[in-house]
Structure 1
Amino acid sequence: MQPVSPHLICRGAAEAIDFYVRAFGAVERGRFAGPNGKIMNAMIEIEGSSIMLVDENLAYGMKGPLEYGGSPVSMHVYVRNVDDFVARAQDAGGTVTMPAANQFWGDRFAMMRDPFGHVWSFATHIFDPTPDEMQAGAMAEADEGCGDMPAREA
């Protein structure tokens, strides 16, 4: 476990675990269900990072993003090939909200929402921009909105 590990509250944590295994290649490290069958604690690993999961429990104020109509938080994951990763996740039922595109900060980046309301971003690092390139890219984005920038050799 890392010193800070996300703990996702899901409406249907068992189904969420199954989705993350199919969509993101997660490895299930364990789960503990209570007497009612609801997940009280579970852990998966995605790209070497631990993520805890629990079933929504309104009696304890534990609400998942579907209860709120969305999530203000995004999970960010670096992957080897963002295009392949996002395609697999989309095939498994994820909704792409920002298609993969090269970004001024040096990553090929995409965003999606999973069926449980959690927001995810995925990236593959493609080049190291200079501070001047970062500033110019940020200014261009402010003027034009998000767009595809050509990849450049590292």
Structure 2
Amino acid sequence: MPKFNPYLNFDGNAEEAFNFYKSVFGGEFSGGIMRMGEMPDSENITEAEKGLVMHVSLPITGGDVIMASDIMPSAGQKLVVGNNNYICISPESREEADRLFAGLSEGGEVEMPMQDQFWGDYFGSFKDKYGVCWMIDYGVAKEAK
């Protein structure tokens, strides 16, 4: 059974928001805070954007996790209420990731096709035909276990 976790987008204040959430829920960020400047080809983004949050995750009760990133205006991203929330599904296999991606994205708009990512996961994102934003994230490290 896949695991569902909320993924939030922010307009430059993801770190502030997640420090607030951490003060409420407690705990520590999983893997720290990844910055846009850590991405491949980050020399092509502005200095200000290099400090933005690429990814942060905070484990909360019962094994659930809330995750987030900032938008990148230079990549044409604009925060609009509705695209600031994603449902992130973490399936148990690559095959299940592909099946879920193909099924849910049918008739929708693919943002990032399923592919191996530089951070080590097999990942894709899209907006379905109803306007709901989804991420499919299979942790490749699971295959090694």
Structure 1 length-normalised TM: 0.37
| Larger relative contact order (Cα-Cα within 8 Å, sequence gap ≥ 6) | 2
Structure 2 length-normalised TM: 0.39
